[in-house]
Structure 1
Amino acid sequence: MEIEQIEILAFLQRHSPFQELPAEQLHQVALSIDIGYFKAGTTILRFNDPLHALHLIRSGAVETFRRNGDLYNRLSEGGIFGEQGLLRGAKVRFPATALEDTLIYFIPGEVFQQLFDDNEFFADYVEVGDSERRKTTKAARQAQSNLLSSTVSSLLNREPVSIGSNATVWQAAELMTEQNVSSLLILHHASEPALNGTLAGIITDKDIRARLVAPGLKSETPVIDIMSPDPITIDQQQYIFEAMTLMLRYNLHHLPVLKQRHPVGVIAISDIIRYESQHSLFVVSRIFRQQTVAELQALTTDVQACFVRMVNEDANSQMIGSAMAAIGRSVKQRLLELAETALGPPPVPYCFLALGSMARDEQLILTDQDNALILDNRFEPALHDSYFQQLAQFVSDGLAACGYTYCTGKIMATNPEWRQPLTVWQQYFRSWIEQPTAERLLHSSIFFDIDGVWGQTQWAEQLQQLVSSTARRKPLFLASMTRNALSRTPPLGFFKDFVMEQDGKHNNSLNIKRRGTAPFVDLIRIHALAIGSEASNSFNRLKDITDAAVLPKGRAEDLRDAFEVIAMTRIRHQAAALQQGLEPDNNVLPEQLSEFERKHLKEAFQVLSNAQKFLKFHFKA
């Protein structure tokens, strides 16, 4: 066997359905193969032309089409096409074009037919077709995580119990007792026809105790005086995991459910628990009961166990990222409560910020702390900064104790630069956008993912609105952000092989964050800034990007799927490390992945590479 044929044999041994063939049969296939090269944009197969071989992609990418011109499939290394035509009269059924420079292995039709006749696995594999194989895999995943993808409406088992906003607390309590409920929806009454029947507020047993009985008010007190007005709500068609995220984020025990602005029910934590098998709600509820930093630190193993459970039960990256961010946000909020208890009330109002992955609801188990403080414009350093310096130090040290390591770049509220009045923050953001420098672009990539977690959270929203309204009108800024984002490229070589890290400790590994999820987040953020999206989560940004139709048809969906593949590879790697008693990291060893995982990871990196090329062209970087 020649050297070239040995290389072909090694390639076949890495890809289905060939790697499942007996050694002798595989050897004969390798000897029969011819090779062809096609430049990007070249037609490989035309509809109804004679077909003489099965096509196997050695390197590059190919798109196949239906006869009406619609895209049928997109294939990369290890993908096969032409099998449907060989099975149906040896005529091309799906035309094919090289998406990029591509090498093809041609397996002669007679060899293909012999494999089909003699090998049951091979026949089953090619008869199904790649498109259907992907659908089957997706359906299996969905079936496994059915509970996590159910809508809120599936939790509703009774009509909502409500009362008009002109009622008294006595009437409300009587109705709650009669209906045996712990919460009551308050509806705008008929004297307000424009709002009639819509939600005005909610009261709970706790509200009656804390806001009526404890202060000594009379039972004839209007219900609107003790209700929580304009409560957070969720639509009945949203997913249960979204309801879970809201309840985690805002520490809610009751969540009204709406249909076309009108309430159709209320879900409670007990309803979520039946579906939320990972128990992140339990972790959050325990966080708010801890009285010291040491007690919070003791929950670290529970947080890790929660992460591993979610991975093992097939939650997707958005669910996991949201739950982990909610846990991290809750730790931060409890630390701020403890800090204010120790230091006393703040001298001026403030907003404590979460940045980066926590702000995007994409936090994982391995993360550092990025945070900052917005202070009231009445802030005077000589009078007030000592308090906020101590508060920032208390929270930062507490986060480090709980597993959220100090930021090596000092993007923390302990740094006076990131502990400033609102007017200074507004100046920061304007200068970053209007006068981009290398340092300012770095700050933009960090601070443009921002979330207020405590205090005057509307200030964080004001900064988000400033960014969304300003950045889209600054092409120089967007081009500069693009150049900065393109500095991190996916780890693929010329023949689409993995390019490994060569840094000693993590030698011959893939840094799945630095070369995968991080550049994905960067390019999605730039497209989102360009259309004025106010979303923070990368998947929500992609939805806005899709709606804005700024990418070629189908590319936003490709980005979403590829981002999910890379994110879940990173997540599963960290979960496996925890289960083995190791420190989790972001460095994946390709040999520890299955052939299926390696193939799809390469395809995802290729989507990222193509997206970066489009980004460079689109923003003239």
Structure 2
Amino acid sequence: MEVEQIEIANHLRRFEPFDALPEEAVARVAANADVAYYKAGSDILLLNDEIHDLYFIRSGAVELFRRDGEFFNRLGEGELLGQTGLMMRNRVRFPARALEDTLLYIIPETIFDELCDQHDVFADFVEFGDHSRLQQAISRAQQSNEMMRTKVSRLIGREPVSVDQTASVHQTAIKMTEERVSSVLVTDMNEDGESTVVGIVTDQDLRTRFISPALEFDTPITAIMSANPVTLDANLYVFDAMLTMLRHNVHHLPLMRSQQAVGVIALSDLIRYESQNSLFVVAKLLRAQNQEELVNLGKDIDASFVRMVNEDANSHMVGSAMTVFGRSIFQRLLELAEEQLGPPPIPCCFLTLGSMARDELLPGGDQDNALVLDDSFDAAKHDGYFQKLAAFVSDGLAANGFAYCKGGVMATTDKWRQPRHVWKKYFADWIAYPSKEAMLNSSMFFDLDGVWGHTEWVIPFRQQIARQAANHNLFLSSLGRAALYRTPPLGFFKDFVLEQDGEHKNSLNLKRRGTAPLAALVRVHALAVGSTAQNTFERLEDIKDARHLPPGRAEALRDAMEIMSVVRQRHHADQISRKQKVDNNINPEDLSQFDRRNLKEAFQVLNDAQNYLKVRPAKGRYRGTKRVFSTS
């Protein structure tokens, strides 16, 4: 080989998949490769242009875009582009532009085809890497989203500023001014002589808890701090930080490593990763003065949802963010109701059920809720208030896009507005006597979370359900049969089975025939292992940890859920962008070949899992509560 070809071959061998190819194969690539140079900002590939070459990035950086011009991915040295077009009718699917001055090796299609035909390692890599098709598709989406691949520790700009809990407010304010920070951690020494975080104080705390009430300078800092602040592991991702701030409505977040604070990030640190920050939307929802203001914020929620989907956020991120929006509306409605009706006459807890309880809320869903009342409840004295409260909230949710539940699973229904001891009996009876109606109720009420009031009441309910269900195989068997009622829309030859008539002819309902039966199946296995988790992905982690399914099955279900959820979210985002009514009916012909293939794979995973449950009914393996999540 010539010197230049030797240099190309040596460079190719540094990267996958060329590092796994025989030397003669790499030498043949080098001998047939051309070199091209693109200045920063110049187009490399244009949408729908014919493509007959594979491109290897020798140096520089390239950005890929979607059909609508939205950013899709960023590639650097050693990465390939153009393989999707070569495998799909020789048309460019993802336009490419040089982000920096870029040097490319151009490999002819004939060599590309030769490598695919002769070397499985190369064919597997360009088609779906060394993982399954589903896992590779998910990985690509996550890698293209900066919030999913950036460790939150990268946002730390300095060491945390702290004061001892014996400090005064005046001393703390002086230190915050000297250090030029908007928050300070309050610390104490534990028994081992280590500093532990016991609170946090922000600029807002100084204004609202110190200056406004005109307290004395020597007021202890503990009097105005937020005790036991929400924290986050510094090894997690920006995505996790955003969700934590959303869930708890906080603007300062201490980052911990080995139980020690290593930094504090603020809302402003996240803004550069999320230009239309979802935290702002939550703040607006919680400040709404009336129902009309809440309804008007619907456009902000839609915009945030569409943006997250277009930025390839994963389904857990989108579902969690949308759940926070939904819960914020729920909570603000309850606060507005209390302003109008007065405080509840006895303690209570408003429950949310279904997808909102699972952190899997998406646009277009209906409302499922219930009321748990203190055991001192006297219908003659108290129920008039709670009827009005339930009606106010239900009507408000309907006005905000959460349709009334057709089955009446709402706190406005007398049966679902009961004291704690009645709810305990409901759960026990449904498990002990698994009738058809009991199975229907279990499928709705065994995904539950507290949204207002005494939310801690939910924890013993979850523990009761997990304990009793895992010790009652007849119930698990009955719930398992109910979970098999809806099957994925796959025909004998693994083609899609579509609706044949009606309004949604030639489409499939991705919720009714996909995510819903998968969530139901996972719920059965989760209860069998005594899991108190609510989110489908978290339940799968408990199932995996318990080794309840054969190796790889839990991971396959996780990937199938992700694919189906992402396709469903994209469909919703497209409908919202087109100002259409949101539904779950998808015409496969509207999907890319890539999405159709992955969706078929996901449906096949669900089909296999349902067949497994038919021949191997779930049996309880209770060893104590697996998870108890905060209901805050």
TM-score range, shorter chain: 0.7 to 0.9
Gaps of 5+ in 2: 1-48, 51-86, 88-107, 130-135, 620-632
Tell me by how many angstroms 1:125 deviates. 4.5
SS in 2 for 1:163: strand
> Residue in 1 aligned with 2:255?
257
**Larger deviation: 118-127 or 266-275?**
118-127
Of 123, 126, 133, 2:127 maps to: 133
Give deviations 1:568-597, integer Å, cap 9, x for gaps.
Answer: 111111111222221121111111122222
Q: Which residue does the alignment assign to 2:15? A: none
Question: Which residue of structure 2 aligns with residue 89 of structure 1?
Answer: none
Matched, 1:161 2:186: no
Q: Which amino acid aligns with 1:316?
A: N
Q: Distance in 2 between matches of 1:403 and 1:521?
A: 23
How many positions carry a matched residue from both structures?
508
CA distance in 1, matches of 2:275, 2:534: 26
2:138–2:562: 8 Å Cα contact kept in structure 1? no
Verify the 8 A CA contact 1:249 1:329 in the aligned structure 2. Answer: no
Q: 1:118 to 1:588 in 2, by over 3 A?
A: closer
Counterpart amino acid of residue 173 in structure 2: A
| 1:233-244 map, 5 Å | 233-244=231-242
Is 1:447–2:445 an aligned residue pair? yes
Offset of residue 159 of structure 1: 0.6
- CA deviation profile, 1:473-523 (whole Å, cap 9, x unmatched): 111111111000011111112221211124511122111101100011011
**TM score, norm. by length of structure 1:** 0.78
Residue in structure 1 matched with residue 224 of structure 2 by the alignment: 226
Match of 1:369 in 2: 367
Pick one of 430, 433, 458 that aligns with 1:432. 430
Residue pairs, 1:181-580, within 5 angstroms: 181-189=181-189, 192-194=190-192, 196-277=194-275, 279-580=277-578
Q: CA deviation at 1:470?
A: 2.1
SS of the aligned residue for 1:158 comes to coil
After superposition, the C-alpha distances for 1:303-335 in whole angstroms (9 at most, x for unaligned) are 112111111111111111111111111111111
Q: Structure 1 counterpart of 2:333, which letter?
A: L
Equivalent residue runs for 1:32-111 within 5 Å? none
Q: 1:293 to 1:118 in 2, by over 3 A?
A: closer
Preserved contact between residue 254 and residue 269 of structure 1 (Cα < 8 Å): yes
Question: Is contact 1:185-1:201 (8 Å) kept?
Answer: yes
Matched position secondary structure for 1:484: helix
AA aligned opposite 2:181: V
C-alpha contact 1:273 1:281 (8 A) present in aligned 2: no
Provide the C-alpha distance between the structure 1 equivalents of 2:583 and 2:350, rounded to a whole number of angstroms. Answer: 28
CA distance in 1, matches of 2:266, 2:160: 12
Would the aligned equivalents of 1:148 and 1:275 in 2 still touch at CA under 8 Å? no
Q: Name the counterpart of 1:180.
A: 180
Contact 1:278 1:310 in 2 (8 A): no
Q: Which moved more, 1:271-280 or 1:350-359?
A: 271-280
Dislocated runs of 4+, deviation >6 Å: none
Residues 422 and 118 of structure 1: CA distance in aligned 2, closer, same or farther (over 3 Å): closer
Distance 1:530 1:118, change over 3 A: closer
Q: Distance in 2 between matches of 1:131 and 1:555?
A: 23
1:258 is aligned with what amino acid? M
Q: How has the CA–CA distance of structure 1 residues 313 and 215 changed in structure 2, closer, same or farther, with 3 Å as cutoff?
A: same
Distance 1:583 1:479, change over 3 A: same
When structure 1 is superposed on structure 2, of 430-439 and 119-128 the one drifting more is: 119-128
Q: Give the match's secondary structure for 2:371.
A: strand
Query: Using the alignment, how far apart are the partners of 2:109 and 2:595 within structure 1?
Result: 28
Contact kept in structure 1, 2:411 and 2:417, CA below 8 Å: yes
Contact 1:468–1:533 (CA<8 Å) still a contact in 2? yes
Q: Kindly indicate whether the alpha-carbon contact (under 8 Å) linking 2:141 and 2:313 is maintained by their aligned counterparts in 1.
A: no
Q: Deviations over 1:250-285 (max 9, x none)?
A: 211222211111111222211122222453222112
TM-score w.r.t. the length of structure 2 is 0.76
Write out aligned runs for 1:608-619 (5 A).
Answer: 608-619=606-617
Give the Cα–Cα distance (whole angstroms) in 1 for the partners of residues 278 and 397 of structure 2.
18
Contact 1:187/1:196 (<8 A) preserved: no
Identity, % of aligned pairs? 53
Cα contact 1:374–1:421 (8 A) shared by 2 = yes
Hey, what's the Cα distance between the residues in 1 that align with 2:167 and 2:537? 43
| Secondary structure class of the residue paired with 1:275 | coil
Q: 2:80 maps to what in 1?
A: none
Flag the 1:125–1:283 CA change in 2: closer, same or farther, 3 A.
farther
**Offset at residue 139 of structure 1 (A):** 5.8
1:587 aligned onto 2:585 = yes
